[in-house]
Amino acid sequence: MNKDNGFPYDGANGDGDGDESADAPLEATADALLEEELRQAAAVLDPVPDFLRQLALEAYALHDLDARIAELTFDSLVDALPVRGVTDAPRMLTFRAGALTVDVEVTGDGLIGQVLPPGSARIEVLGGPGAARPVAVDSLGRFLSDDPPRGPFALRLRTGTEVIVTEWLRA
């Protein structure tokens, strides 16, 4: 940084102090402040139209277009026999995609499930236009989410080689 005028040293005129590495954090902070100021100005002077924001969300939804769809093979709301005296039974779901099975229990407290056969996987709970909520999967394929889905939801399962998405269901 040139101490005389406060501008970064460009090395062409030979008037630097020889210690440009010490000025790197200052330049990064100044760049971040300038970027934030420009973002705020653009948001006020030229905001993104709502229809364009919606179009971007819809286009992003296609980024997993090559994902396999897991078929719903069991839904306790449709397939299970009612149990006398139980008024708020959890919803049990089973999805299947090839040799992979995902069992899910949906309660008012969240989701509990297991991926079979167990293996390395990441699960995200999708719920409308909001961000996907990641859920940890342990070495036995079990997962738990303390955040119950509200409204339509689906699960996105990422294994080492493929992406599998369940059908969208109402909680």
What is the reported pLDDT for 104?
94
What is the reported pLDDT for 116?
92
Evaluate whether 169 touches 154 at the Cβ level (below 8 Å): yes
Dist. CA 122–CA 16, nearest whole Å: 51
Q: Along the 171 residues of the chain, how does pLDDT read in single tens digits?
A: 455 555 555 544 444 455 555 666 778 888 999 999 998 998 899 888 888 887 777 666 666 666 788 999 999 888 766 666 666 778 899 999 988 999 999 988 889 999 999 888 889 888 866 667 888 899 899 999 888 888 888 899 988 788 898 988 887
What is the reported pLDDT for 140?
92
